[in-house]
Amino acid sequence: MRGKRRASITAAATLLVGASALLSIGPAVAGSPWGAGYFPNVPLITQDGTVVHFYDDLLKGKKVAINLIYTSCKRECPLETARLVQVQRLLGDRVGKDLFFYSISIDPERDTPAVLKAYAEKFHVGPGWLFLTGRTDDITLIAKKLGLSRRSDALTRDGHGASLMIGDEAGGQWMMNSSVDDPRFLATTISNFMGWDDRQPGRSYTEVAGLPTPDTGALVFQSRCGACHTIGKGDAVGPDLAGVTTRRERSWLVRYLRAPDQMLAENDPIATALLARYRDVPMPNLRLSDGEIAVLLTFLEGQAP
Ligand code: HEC
């Protein structure tokens, strides 16, 4: 996917790349230029069908985390939403109280409130996070004003970067992050940026994503798959992968991990049945290298009961 940074395969690399992606737009200044006169107060509609105004209802005086999505994205974007759900869990009940998450659709014609609502439910999104649609022109303007359309082709499929804009409207501070970074890193970055000194996120990282181990396969699994899959802890966004290497043939798994979207397009019966069963959230094409696929399968085999 053009414009998307590949997530790195080790936690350490994730932290380094993430740190260099930080882009602070500037310190708070009296009479911040990023206020009512800057952000459009255009109407948007939430996943529950409520009309809200972008500046007055969503930004004014609030701390926010905003990204662009579209629900029919079959590539890396589902990972963004799954990652942000992990961040939401790490931040605990701050979300909805001290911080608001907004995901704005760049495909507003297809992404009706009902479609957005179903999407949020599929990903087990918690309270304090609105999915928004509206008029295309208004959304284009919002994306531009938020600096989320810098990659010029914001409204073309896959043209948006996996960026997360974090803002403190009252303080006039905004910061761009990658929304597919390590969730613990993102949660800590948000807490630091907001000046919250409690180092006490809602849930520990180990509960959310499984304990990191120095095994490469485990690290790849954790950074690329753990947002959607568990091994032996039940279904999440995708199926529990315990025993998957015994229930599927290795050659099928290799092809599936390399290009699940292509297998669907070719009407592979297993891929089609899985998609139907997991409520139409497709397994994303994560552009895994052959090396990543090999270490992942070795890791998954080692987890077989
Ligand atoms: C954004 C969520 C998401 C991510 C990230 C993700 N998956 Fe999936 N995966 C799914 C969903 C959903 C399905 C069910 C099939 C479908 O709906 O297309 C699935 C299906 C699978 C299957 C088939 C399971 C079976 O019972 O046959 C395997 C294997 C799999 N994923 C492995 C992985 C691996 C390995 C990674 C990391 C490299 C990964 N997935 C990352 C969502 C995800």
Mean pLDDT score of the chain, rounded to an integer? 81
Position in ligand 1 atom list of the atom nearest CA 292 = 38
Q: Which CATH number applies to 20-205?
A: 3.40.30.10
Tokens 């290795």 sit at which residue? 250
- Phi and psi at 296, nearest 5°, equal -65, -45
Structure pTM? 0.63
Spatial CB neighbours of 192, under 8 Å, sequence gap ≥ 6: none
Spatial CB neighbours of 266, under 8 Å, sequence gap ≥ 6: none
Spatial CB neighbours of 241, under 8 Å, sequence gap ≥ 6: 225, 229, 230, 231, 300, 303
Tokens 């996996």 sit at which residue? 162
**pLDDT band with cut points at 50, 70 and 90 for residue 273:** very high
Q: Which tokens is 41 given?
A: 């107060």
Q: Which tokens is 37 given?
A: 């006169």
Residue 299 above 70 pLDDT? Answer: yes
CATH 1.10.760.10 domain span(s) along the chain: 210-302
Pocket mutation for ligand 1, best pick of 229, 255, 264 (most atoms within 8 Å of C-beta): 229
Q: Residues lining ligand 1, judged by CB closer than 6 Å?
A: 78-79, 82, 224-225, 227-229, 237-239, 241, 244, 248, 253, 256-257, 274-275, 278, 281-284, 286, 288, 296
CATH 3.40.30.10 domain span(s) along the chain: 20-205
Angstrom distances, CA of residue 12 to CA of 212, 219, 220: 11, 10, 12
Residue 263 above 50 pLDDT? Answer: yes
Q: Which tokens is 274 given?
A: 């899985």
pLDDT in tens, 186-213: 888 898 888 886 555 454 444 444 444 4
pLDDT in tens, 275-287: 988 877 788 888 8
Pocket mutation for ligand 1, best pick of 74, 223, 228, 251 (most atoms within 8 Å of C-beta): 228
Distance in Å, CA 254 to ligand 1 centroid: 12
**pLDDT band with cut points at 50, 70 and 90 for residue 113:** very high
Pocket mutation for ligand 1, best pick of 283, 286, 301 (most atoms within 8 Å of C-beta): 283
Looking at domain 210-302, its CATH class is mainly alpha
What are the b/e assignments for 180-190, b being 16+ CB within 10 Å?
bbbbbbbbbbb
- Phi and psi at 9, nearest 5°, equal -95, -10
